[in-house]
Structure 1
Amino acid sequence: MTDAILLIHTEVLNGMSASPRHFQKWAEVAAEEDFPDADLSEETFRVRLTEEAAHGGAFVALWSRALTAWDFAEDPRWSPETAPRTDDRRNAVYHRLRFGADLRKALDAIVPVAHVPGVAVIAREHIPWYTSERAAARSFYWQAYDHKLREKGWPEASIASLDQASRAVVERLVDPEQSGFRQAKGLVVGYVQSGKTANFTGVIAKAIDAGYRLVIVLGGTLNLLRAQTQRRLDMELIGQENILRGADLSDVDSLVGIDYVGDDADWPQFVRHGGRPSVQRAFDIERLTTRDKDYKSLDRGIRTLEFEKREPTLPLYDPANLHYAAARVMVVKKNKSVLTKLVKDLKQVHGILGELPALIIDDESDQASVNTSNPEKWQKGATERTAINSLISQLLRLLPRGQYVGYTATPFANVFVDPGDAHDIFPSDFLISLPRPEGYMGVQDFHDFDSTVKGPERTVANSQEKAYVRGICGDGGDRLQEAMDSFVLTGALKLFRTDHGVPDGPFRHHTMLVHESVRTRDHAVLADQINAMWHQAGYTSTEGHGRLAALWESDFAAVSSARAADLPNPASYDELRSYVSRARQLIGAGGNAVVIVNGDSDRYFEQLDLDFDRTPHVWKILVGGTKLSRGFTVEGLTVTYYRRTARQADTLMQMGRWFGFRPGYRDLVRLYIGREEQLTKTSTVDLYEAFEAICRDEELFRQQLAQYAELIDGKPQVTPAQVPPLVAQHLPWVKPSARNKMFNAELVEIRSPGKPIEPAAYPTDPGALYRNTERWSPLLQAIPAQSVDLTDRFVGGNGSDWSFQARTVRVGHAELLAVLNGLEWEREGIFRPHLSYLAQLDGRLATVDEWLVIAPQLTHDNRVEASVLDSSPLSLVRRRRQDSKPSFSRISSVEHLRAALHLIEAAADAPTNALVGPRTGVALLYPVVDGKNEADVRAAVQLGKADPSKVVMAFTLVPPKSAIDSTRRLVRFQAKDSRHADDAIISAPRVP
């Protein structure tokens, strides 16, 4: 039976791809000839939506795609005043469609607006070429990839976000039809295990559609990782017809040597193009590598890399040739031998390389690719490179039309590459930060960054740490048995959910990761220990079931009830008993529940049988070290046991294998991580806090990229060459690869209207601390003795968000600036960019009349109060400096900072605010004592007076939102040598 309504709506929406219009009128025109009796009323429309909502029919899918496309449109002519992915944009769409309130409500319920951020782009100005019209005209492989993602069940918003992000990369490459030579180099920053491969697959699809004819993917340092990337591209982009190359599936002899056919259960799911693309007015893709074979010296000679021209007298990049030539794709290891063969073959190609638009995708581009050779040891005037970096450099020299795009989750090594080296991989053209994808379980899901819920009031429902993190304390037992019990129990829960119809099941893989050391001999000892525990655990005994039942009751029942009430959960442990037996069998299959992962060779990994793509089920406990930290995605990871200490921030972040997508079992994830463990006789380490500090810094870096990505008068605020000084300033935990990879750009000003300024690197010298405290003395003595309850002022009387006592005083801007100008710092110049900004708030840039100084009073019973240079008694605050560094990890507490930001926001929105006006800033002031416990704080006080040489007068400033000029520029740089303003070759000052 013909579905008239679906056909009418499809025709109308196809005609509205450019912009939404009066839907009823268009529908009547579409129905007039073929379906004159169709009911086109909004009520019928609404009922049809409601009926299909539960099972997601074609009608709902049609409208989901249309609304999402309009929601994501960038600067559409039909609604230039609304921002993408906002309620305002959706309302503008409804207004143009002329929809009534009831229909709008139904659509919003079924297709809610995806309030997700877009990509943040820091880039040099480029010549626009990848227009919407050009992208739509040639989109064969992108459409195939788009269709595959829908088959896999990707939500419309996720596909639209990927479309936007991949377009942002492709449009900053050089036009492949351009006659002149130019190479673009960029870096795409994602999250650990967040789907970067999906992004660069989309980039490749769009790039080859546009005309790029050689794609080289540098896919990891192990063949296992390379093969995973190859299979992903083959399955989702290249497709069956290009893999078969004319072979007949019914002819066994013709399939000899063709991978996937017959030994890969997912072969039927590989993309199908409906025939060879070259006979469908598109072009074929020739694979120069396969699933099992990395790049080898070409068997048929260099002819494999030669391109036939349709018009021999015209260059390859001419449209008459380019769009009829087959594309070559290869996925190669970052291996000296492999890349040497590729470079050697390319050197034998004569003439055509100068006409060949090529794209190099470098996955995990901060691993192996970066030149780590020490410039101090170079011969004068010569650049010495490490092996892989040298070979990538040679590829770029051989491919003058080659574009380089690196992908990483830890970008700092890449952005510190010398941009003055034209043949290196510095992302001189663009740096793109991908948004956190929907459904991703990342750092925010394991830390309570912005929670205002006080410690005793935190529960598994309102605290991420309470729900997912289990601390391993040095004196509280290693909890390894509990972690292994959690692994068995969560396996049983996955099996239970599969049998009870969970949408994301069945769960193919189920893994636990244990990481305590980088030493391989330690891994063997630990694996033996876990194996012994496994065989002694008695999971089929009364004791074993009792232990699991207690763990279910004390932990998982409450978390699953609070976090996954919509998923199937057992009413009691008794419902899980039979599933525990099945989970135990799966984990112990093959006679061993534990797999050690620490080898260096491909042969070693082939013996492990850990190919998550080709192995039907991997239910194992993995014990390993750094080999698990790069590109190796541990599928089904549910329980992580992590005690290893890493000194480098990027190393620590890459070990965050517990980040990723956890569909259907997000509530079951557990992280057992070291807390306050003894590192040496004199120091302890808290891995969880270390992760939190690093992740805060990384998130701040991403936020600032997004902030600086906004164009001012159509021009970028910063270019990629100016990013590294920002990294040095805002990431005190991250060590640059080398100081000589910094730049000759001096950061002279950072403007922070409505944003916190919180320096962290205070002096350690007692004399400097004393002098700083003296400079604060006039202001300290002005602070009154009585405390104020600020709660009602902040939250309008309900007292629900913040409640703390503080002593406050108002000071003029010139008075505060006089104090700040005289302060000493651990490193000269670290506060100067902020001070330069603050100094201009006397009317030159903007006007700040006064500052409300807030000295919070601690509320806990053992607080220490003392006079500081004859001031009223103030609460002394304990903070710890980072190991071997002068910087504190943080200064302000979350609730105090949120209160300050609330005041600034309220003043901007309601200028009549009684406490803070639109030209008033807020300063949080803390007398800080560097110490491990409260005893250290009390030691700094004698007879009710604090020792000024032991107190750090620390502060956080939040200027009013009005403290900015009309240009809205946020940063300003100054070249050290004005004659070479565009050069960037030596270090900038380090800032907090």
Structure 2
Amino acid sequence: MDLNHGVFIKTLQHKNNYSKDELKAMHDTVNNLIEISTSENKPGMLLGRIQSGKTRSFMGSMALGFDNGFEVVIILTKNSNALARQTYERLHKEYEALIDLDYMSAYDIMSLPDDLRKFELNKKIVIVVKKEKKNVERLTKALFEMYPVLRKRQMMIIDDEADYASVVYDKDKDKNLTELKVIASQLDQIKREIPTAAYLQVTATPYSLYLQPDSEVLSARGYQPKRPAFTVLVPTYQLYVGGKFYFEQSKLEGPASYVYQPVSETELELLRKEDNRRVKDAYVLTTKQLTGLRNALINFVVGGKIRNLQQIAQQERPKKYAFIMHTITTKRAHMWQYQVAMKIEQKLKQLIDEDEAAFKSIILKAYEGFKLSSESNYFPDESDVYEAVKSAFLDEELLITIVNSEQDVNQLLDKRGELKLRAPLNFFIGGQILDRGITIGNLIGFYYGRDPKKFQQDTVLQHSRMYGARPKEDLSVTRFYTTHRIYDVMERMHAFDEDLRKAFETGRNAGEVIFMMHDTKKDIVPCNPNKILLSKVITIKAKKRFLPVGFQTKSRSEMIRRTKKVDRMIQDLRKFAINQNNKDARHILVPVQKVITILKEITECLIMEEGYEWNVETFSAILNYLSRLPGNNTGYVWIVTRENRNISRYRQDGVRFADRPDNGQDELKQSYQLGTTHPTVLLLRQNGNENEGWRGGPFYWPVIVAPAQMNTIVFEE
């Protein structure tokens, strides 16, 4: 293959300066498309992270393909005018010089001329097709009636956002999914009629494509298996910010630890439909029921102005910033949320005139929060930030906009096909129209509230518009608002996403991820991965911790009594230990069933807060399974005990609940050393002092730690 010297790849390389990793991914993609037979049921896969440069990679792969025998490329985009336009504009931008030199032509299928001459048909041709009924019908007509010569040329079909309209089910009565099935069938028919074409799918959410057996039986039931013939990973660029920042680094000290801001379930419910009885104009700045949205709007303005002042200090032009609120898809709900957000803004402006001291107090509280998360060498003075924020409200720099239709999006797109930022601070309220594919620049706030009971992994993660290229300086003012329940689901999805990607990176995707579930006897047995509801998965990998978070204890007197009982149960465990010669009696190996009894007793002492849960049955089943992994003394668990602990109920910010009762240099480190092939349960006796937020009675905080040596398991609750 001509890797670097063809006119197409040379032109794009000069324009984009691809890295070695990017060029290798493009080379591997095109080489596989040439060497490996692909079909509508066995396509190639270009797998990237969300907003991680997948378009850049497949545009480069096209160039390399044109230099190596491909002559026609069909790009299938999601059923969105905005995304189709964005893809078309990007195509012309990337290939502008080659189009001007008549090396190639690029068309939107709905604008394809019906009188192309032989000269034009002999050029390299790219056609952008939206996955929508009329677009696909027009493509069928173009290939089979108007220009049948195109079918005889070497063709590459690129399915962008491949899981959308690629795998659908007969049993679903939803109108949109019914139409998607029709579109998928039409596309498959086109592909079958052009057997020499190469097929490439591009996505960041391949779960519906990978996690199903390649089976005629499933196909007969309405499934359309699309297990890839090969997978090439899109390299992640240096400025990329994804799930690791929001769900892993957020657990550690630093800017990421402030990114997640909890929202109550009550607030989310309140914002789903109009309720003027509960949302009074006079109380929008004080009611606890709107704490999340109020903080989101205020923090967005304050964070944006902090960054503007930092940019001015660096002699840079101040940037415009964006915020997205996505909780529900109905237009009525969007109008209600718009009205509430406008009320908050109006009341803040009114407060400047009527009680500026109160307004200043609100702004400086937000300022102090950002100061804690900043790592910048220059953090502006509070008086400068206050004046900038005050001016932003008085000069109406904040623009609150509803985006819930194709028309809304089309009016907001700039010439590059990206969402236009009209004002210095743009607060967008919308639904799915703002999801996958549409680029939204300088996003520093995201309020998310879709119902997790209906979550599917590909859909939810594609809603995560806060992923993508982010300047490091913007991260210190970035905030993510959602309920703990939704955050927990998204964290599980991120873990699953990362483990699946790791499986491909290590080349062991056929066997590294094991799927397990409960059976009727509450035991864990293998399960069929295509049956998993991905919002219910728990990914278990080496050294991973599982513990209750977000709870209060019972009364002081009850906790004293119950904790004494647990003390005795732990003492009795030593009778069953099989490492009696261990010098440290705080580390013992005991039968798993004895430990499960203690976990259930401890759980009786915990009162879970709204949106938080600790299903002791689930984690007991997991612990039981982990204790039976291959090795010596199966059915046993390491117990590590510690006493006299004084952890606060809340983290340093006073908002989020503490989630690290274990000491990484002591008992957690010990669990890694002892539990190489056995799980470990840390039993950490807390004093439960009232000045730490508890009720004055002692209690045990359990932490389950997976073995240090194990393959990844995906477990369905």
Cα drift, residue 298 of structure 1: 4.2
* Deviation string, structure 1 residues 859-882 (Cα, Å, up to 9, x no partner): 55699xxxxxxxxxxxxxxxxxxx
The 2-side partners of 1:506 and 1:639 are apart by: 17
What does 1:210-249 correspond to in 2, within 5 Å?
210-236=68-94, 238-242=95-99, 244=100
| 1:544-601 Cα shifts (integer Å, max 9, x gaps) | 87567545644446645763424x542342366357536864735xxxx2221112xx
| Aligned partner of 2:128 among 321, 324, 331 | 331
Alignment correspondent of 2:227: 427
Question: Which amino acid is the alignment partner of residue 639 of structure 2?
Answer: I
Q: Shift of residue 990 of structure 1? A: 7.0
Equivalent residue, structure 1, for 2:383: 573
Matched-pair contact (CA < 8 Å) for 1:469–1:673: yes
The answer for the alignment partner of 2:191 in structure 1 is 396
Matching of residue 173 in structure 1 with residue 29 in structure 2: no
- In 1, Cα distance between equivalents of 2:629 and 2:578: 29
Shift of 1:227: 0.8
Distance 2:39 2:419 in 1: 45
The answer as to whether partners of 1:302 and 1:345 remain within 8 angstroms in 2 is no
Give distance in 1, aligned partners of 2:152 and 2:625: 46
Q: Deviations over 1:182-229 (max 9, x none)?
A: 996123332222222222222222222222211111122111111111
Q: How far off is 1:627 after superposition? A: 1.8
Is residue 517 from structure 1 mapped to residue 309 from structure 2 by the alignment? no
Q: Unmatched 5+ residue regions in structure 1? A: 1-129, 151-157, 245-275, 279-283, 308-325, 377-382, 677-685, 710-716, 731-737, 744-749, 761-775, 791-805, 843-847, 864-891, 908-915, 929-933, 939-943, 962-969, 973-988
Superposed CA offset, 1:302-343 (max 9, x none): 968854xxxxxxxxxxxxxxxxxx321122211111011102
Q: Please, which of 61, 72, 93 is the counterpart of residue 203 of structure 1?
A: 61
Alignment of 1:608-627 (within 5 A): 608=412, 613=417, 617-619=421-423, 620-627=426-433
Q: Which amino acid aligns with 1:701?
A: L
Q: Give the corresponding residue for 2:588.
A: 809
Distance in 1, matches of 2:250 and 2:295, equals: 29
2:104 aligned residue (271, 278, 285): 285
* Structure 2 residue 297 is the aligned partner of structure 1 residue 484: yes
Counterparts of 1:813-828 in structure 2, within 5 Å, are none
Q: Contact between 1:213 and 1:327, CA under 8 Å: does it hold in 2?
A: yes
Aligned to 1:698: 497
Aligned-pair CA distance for 1:893 = 6.6
How well do the aligned residues superpose, as a CA RMSD in angstroms?
A: 5.4
Q: What per-residue deviation string (whole Å, max 9, x for no partner) do you get for residues 364-386 of structure 1?
A: 2222222322399xxxxxx9981
Distance 1:446 1:783 in 2: 41
- 1:185 matched to 2:40? The reply is no
Q: Is the 8 A contact 1:183 1:401 kept in 2?
A: no
Question: 2:202 is matched by which residue type in structure 1?
Answer: Y
Shift in Å at residue 181 of structure 1? 9.6
Return closer, same or farther for 1:397/1:554 CA change in 2, 3 Å cut-off. same
Change (3 A) 1:241 1:182: closer
How far residue 521 of structure 1 moved from its aligned partner, in angstroms, is 0.5
8 Å Cα contact 1:759/1:956 also seen in 2: yes
* Change over 3 Å in CA distance of 1:241–1:652 after alignment to 2: closer
Aligned counterpart for 1:595 among listed residues 385, 401, 412: 401
Over 3 Å counting, the alpha-carbon distance change for 1:465 and 1:171 in structure 2 is same
Distance 1:498 1:431 in 2: 41
1:136 maps onto 2:4 in alignment: yes
Report the equivalent of 2:443: 637
1:361-760 paired onto structure 2 within 5 Å: 361-374=158-171, 386-416=181-211, 419-420=214-215, 426-448=226-248, 451=251, 462=254, 464-466=256-258, 468-473=259-264, 474=266, 476-479=288-291, 480-501=293-314, 505-507=317-319, 509-538=320-349, 541=352, 549-550=360-361, 553-556=364-367, 559=370, 563-566=374-377, 569-574=379-384, 577=387, 581=391, 585=395, 587=397, 593-599=399-405, 602-608=406-412, 613=417, 617-619=421-423, 620-647=426-453, 648-650=455-457, 651-663=459-471, 665-675=473-483, 686-707=485-506, 709=507, 717-719=508-510, 726=514, 741=530, 755-756=542-543
For 1:625 and 1:571, locate their aligned partners in 2 and report how far apart those are by CA, in whole Å: 37
- Provide the C-alpha distance between the structure 2 equivalents of 1:213 and 1:228, rounded to a whole number of angstroms: 23
- Aligned residue in 1 for 2:601: none
Amino acid at match of 1:807: R
- CA change 1:859–1:301 in 2 (3 A) is farther
What SS does the aligned partner of 2:464 have? coil
Query: What is the SS of the residue equivalent to 1:328?
Result: strand
Give, in angstroms, the shift of residue 487 of structure 1. 2.6
What is aligned with 2:707?
958
Deviation at 1:926, TM superposition (A): 6.2
Q: What is the CA-CA distance between 1:851 and the residue it aligns to?
A: 8.0
Partner of 2:576: 782
Q: Distance in 1 between matches of 2:480 and 2:231?
A: 35
Give the secondary-structure state (helix, strand or coil) at the position aligned to 2:186. Answer: helix
Would the alpha carbon gap of residues 636 and 449 (structure 1) be closer, same or farther in structure 2, given more than 3 Å must change? Answer: closer
| Partners of 1:343 and 1:469 in 2: CA distance | 47
Q: Deviations over 1:708-743 (max 9, x none)?
A: x1xxxxxxx445xx68x746779xxxxxxx979569
SS at match of 1:688: helix
CA distance in 2: counterparts of 1:662 and 1:491, whole angstroms = 14
User: Following TM superposition, by how much is the alpha carbon of 1:641 offset from its aligned partner in structure 2, in angstroms?
Assistant: 2.6
One-letter amino acid matched to 1:605: V
**Residues 350, 726 of structure 1: CA spacing in aligned structure 2 closer, same or farther, 3 A cutoff?**
farther
In structure 1, the residue corresponding to 2:496 is in which secondary structure?
helix
- AA aligned to 1:596 is I
Larger RCO of the pair (alpha carbons < 8 Å, separation 6+): 2
**Equivalent pair of 2:39/2:191 in contact (CA under 8 Å):** no
Q: How far, CA to CA, are the matches of 2:224 and 2:117 in structure 1?
A: 27
Contact 2:338 2:429 in 1 (8 A): yes
1:511–1:618 Cα contact (<8 Å) kept: no
Gaps of 5+ in 2: 267-286, 519-526, 533-538, 548-569, 597-615, 649-658, 685-689
Q: Deviations over 1:369-428 (max 9, x none)?
A: 22322399xxxxxx9981121122123212222222222222211224563469956133
TM-score, normalization by structure 1: 0.52
1: CA distance, partners of 2:412 / 2:91: 24
Q: Distance in 2 between matches of 1:923 and 1:330?
A: 55
Structure 2 distance, partners of 1:759, 1:368, is 36
Report the CA distance between 1:991 and its aligned residue. Answer: 6.2
Amino acid at match of 1:286: S
Equivalent-residue separation in structure 2 for 1:927 and 1:516 (angstroms): 39
Give, in whole Å, the separation in 2 of the partners of 1:304 and 1:835.
Answer: 70
CA distance in structure 1 between the partners assigned to 2:206 and 2:333 by the alignment: 31
SS in 1 for 2:349: coil
Partner AA of 2:303 in structure 1: T
Displacement after TM superposition at 1:446 (Å): 2.9
Distance 1:574 1:333 in 2: 48
Cα 1:398/1:658, change in 2 over 3 Å: same
**What CA distance in whole angstroms lies between the structure 2 residues aligned with 1:640 and 1:920?**
40
Between Structure 1 and Structure 2, whose CA radius of gyration is higher?
1
